[in-house]
Amino acid sequence: MDNRLPPMRCRGSLFKWGERTFVMGIINLSPDSFSGDGLSSTDAAVEQAKRFVEEGADFIDVGGESTRPDSNPVTLEEEIARVVPAISRLRDEIKVPISIDSYKYEVVRQAVAAGADIINDVWGLKKDSRLACLAAERNLPIILASNQRDRPCEGDILPEIIADLKRAIGMCKDVGVFRDNIIVDPGIGFGKTREQNLEIVRRLAELRVLGKPILLGTSRKSFIGLTLDLPAGERLEGTAATNAIGIANGADIIRVHDVRFMTRLARMSDAITRR
């Protein structure tokens, strides 16, 4: 029996889920980045994105606001000023799809106008449901993350995530988002404890009940640092372990800072786990 999901078309490419793991490279235009990879200029963002594509990235994810729990708020104007010029430049210089990492409607709207192909909403439509309408109107893929920062889960985290993602998927369906344009993300680090994050990676395959491609974003996150007692810049091996196990448990996309290393890891993991 073939359990592969229907493919997704984006920016002239066909993403056939199940054939291999796809890699999303992170472009962080925030100096407040938790991982120390924040870029301060459009030129730096373009240079890094082009290098990521050469190293194997299938997607480039551009964000302008830190999402760590104690981060400083960024004004709408500042976030737009950070991400829109970079996306506009990148659209002319790289061929892979570009996602905009924001939950703010106006930031996303202007990013899409500048050339972004995918909406990456870390709040799963809890902050602004209009992002689903925009995805439907423009026929864009949307990544829906499960975020528990507004209501931490004290019980079994997987049923909570599945219920939350079903809510967001339902909202997308209600406004006409194409069913094959929805990607789910368990939201590693967003309102979860260290133990819950480890449990999510271990039980990632349970998200298959949603019938959507799964994005896993563990790169350099604090649960790795807490487990290994290491700062963000020394979490490469820990990130590798989470991605390898995540791929074995059904991840379709891994979102990473270290593209060359994680692309090689994904290819080897695929060779072992995929037929």
Q: Is the dihedral of CA 262, 222, 143, 113 positive or negative?
A: negative
| 40, burial (CB in 10 Å: exposed 0-12, middle 13-18, buried 19+) | exposed
Active site residue 220: no
Give the separation between CA 206 and CA 157, rounded to whole angstroms.
Answer: 11
Sign of CA dihedral 13, 50, 247, 160: negative
Instruction: Tell me which residue of 212, 188, 191 sits closest to 202, measured CA to CA.
Output: 188
Please name the amino acid found at residue 128. D
Task: Report d(CA 43, CA 180) in Å as an integer.
Answer: 34
Residue type, 77: E
**Cross-strand pairs, 253:** 22, 215
Closest CA to 58 of 98, 90, 27: 98
Q: Which residue has the tokens 């870029």?
A: 39
Q: Is 255 labeled as catalytic in the residue annotation?
A: yes
Q: Given the residues 221, 264, 267, 274, select the one marked as catalytic.
A: 221
Query: What is the spatial distance between Cα 28 and Cα 257, in angstroms, rounded to a whole number?
Result: 9
Supply 240's token pair.
């590798």
Contact 89, 115 (CB under 8 A): no
- Catalytic one of 255, 260, 264, 274: 255
Amino acid found at 100: I
Catalytic residues: 221, 255
